[in-house]
Structure 1
């Protein structure tokens, strides 16, 4: 794989209403998840200066609607390869014909042009959920959302990244007091649900963060969390200030951030 000078990454939006993360290196543009309808995906891509036809591929972490809602329509319209685990594909949740499906072995890294993709198995209530560490040969970006607990496997793969997009889904007190029914509260807070602010912070204390130049709190619950709580907890874990921690929100995601060697 040819080394490039930098990875760029941005978010189209992050939360229970839709998720999509854009990673670019040179002329390679990979969309991780597509939880928005195609028209809205197009609008959000254009906000970041990219047209859908410029995408190189779409990668899916798992089959929940907020990650796949627009995936089928997007890859059909623009004849894009769609990468998923076999479990995600076999779930039948991605509707319609997929013109170019490419299976991901969760234990095997692979290349998409200028990017090396390392899939990582995570504990989440889906068929075969994965998250990703992405490299240009010099720098590593970790995208880690939608998991209910931290495993040694996750720690090993995400340690030493230069950038992390990290789930901080809920504050346990707000979740307990919030409007969700008891069964949903149990699911969200369980080992196969979503990371709390404290779990995300604990994760940061267990990995090598000395090379970390970007940290983005993502997949925040609008009902069960507050941006200040999430950013404060993550900042404490790496001994920085809350304003250093960026936020991926539902409406705007976040703009381009560069990782340079």
Structure 2
């Protein structure tokens, strides 16, 4: 299995997950918050074309995650999976797209990849995140949530790699120029994860197989890569687990999981 990001942050998100068996390969894209041409450009930068995608899975309806999904899927005839609540929020954009509904507890088989959606606390209609499995490796993704829950701790346990939201530093957010209401939303139970909360989640997980953690969805105003990395290193120091930080413009390059 390998995975890479086309970009991660409030201006757009897209994650690639790929596996290969013999001469065949399967690649899915998780979310797409970029316009068509920008998505194509970023795919090319990772060595892929739209025709290489077997499907797009969606976490929720916020623009930075779903803004480019349906135009891109329609143009390139790519099937899309999303929760029913998310579908209700974006139904008018779905004409001409092969849409499939999923929910917490399902197992989506997309060629050689299985994706398991799980519910998270976020201010959207029916937000889910995903764990990808190719029969050898498990990749857990958590990019938008306001707090930890026993359910997400269970879902993400035992993964070989994790992509975890490190949206903000609590002190930077509190001292920012954001309106009070926005600060409350971001830092609230259905907002976004702080560096500190993500470190707590990581500390609570079963890390017996964990090799790599990627800090993602960093706020460009209320966080820094150094602060996010420091928080993750506080949990992983001395364990041999690699820590990478995703960025808005470049995302991160392919990370390979191998036996």
TM-score range, shorter chain: over 0.9
The offset of 1:110, in angstroms, is 2.1
CA distance in 2, matches of 1:42, 1:142: 25
Aligned residues of 1:68 and 1:94 also touching (Cα < 8 A)? no
Per-residue CA shift, 1:53-83, capped at 9, x if unaligned? 2110011000000001111111100111010
Tell whether 2:18 aligns with 1:20. no
Match of 1:180 in 2: 178
Match of 1:81 in 2: 79
Alignment of 1:163-242 (within 5 A): 163-240=161-238
RMSD: 1.5
CA distance in 2, matches of 1:251, 1:29: 21
Task: Tell me the secondary structure at the aligned position of residue 224 of structure 1.
Answer: coil
CA distance in 1, matches of 2:92, 2:190: 21
Per-residue CA shift, 1:99-143, capped at 9, x if unaligned? 210001222112111111110100000000000000111210001
Match of 1:248 in 2: 246
**TM-score normalised by length of structure 2:** 0.95
The offset of 1:234, in angstroms, is 0.7
CA distance in 1, matches of 2:10, 2:230: 21
**TM-score normalised by length of structure 1:** 0.94
The offset of 1:47, in angstroms, is 0.2
Task: Tell me the secondary structure at the aligned position of residue 160 of structure 1.
Answer: coil
Task: Tell me the secondary structure at the aligned position of residue 257 of structure 2.
Answer: strand
Task: Tell me the secondary structure at the aligned position of residue 163 of structure 2.
Answer: strand
CA distance in 1, matches of 2:222, 2:210: 27
CA distance in 2, matches of 1:180, 1:202: 25
Alignment of 1:63-82 (within 5 A): 63-82=61-80
Residue from 125, 128, 137 that aligns with 2:126: 128
Residue from 5, 10, 13 that aligns with 2:4: 10
Match of 1:4 in 2: none
The offset of 1:242, in angstroms, is 11
In structure 2, stretches of 5+ residues that fail to align are: none
The offset of 1:214, in angstroms, is 1.0
Task: Tell me the secondary structure at the aligned position of residue 92 of structure 1.
Answer: helix
Residue from 106, 111, 117 that aligns with 1:119: 117
Match of 1:45 in 2: 43
Match of 2:145 in 1: 147
Distance 1:94 1:82, change over 3 A: farther
Distance 1:134 1:164, change over 3 A: same
Match of 1:3 in 2: none
CA distance in 2, matches of 1:177, 1:16: 19
CA distance in 2, matches of 1:189, 1:249: 21
Alignment of 1:23-34 (within 5 A): 23-26=17-20, 27-34=25-32
Aligned residues of 1:72 and 1:94 also touching (Cα < 8 A)? no
Q: How many residues align?
A: 255
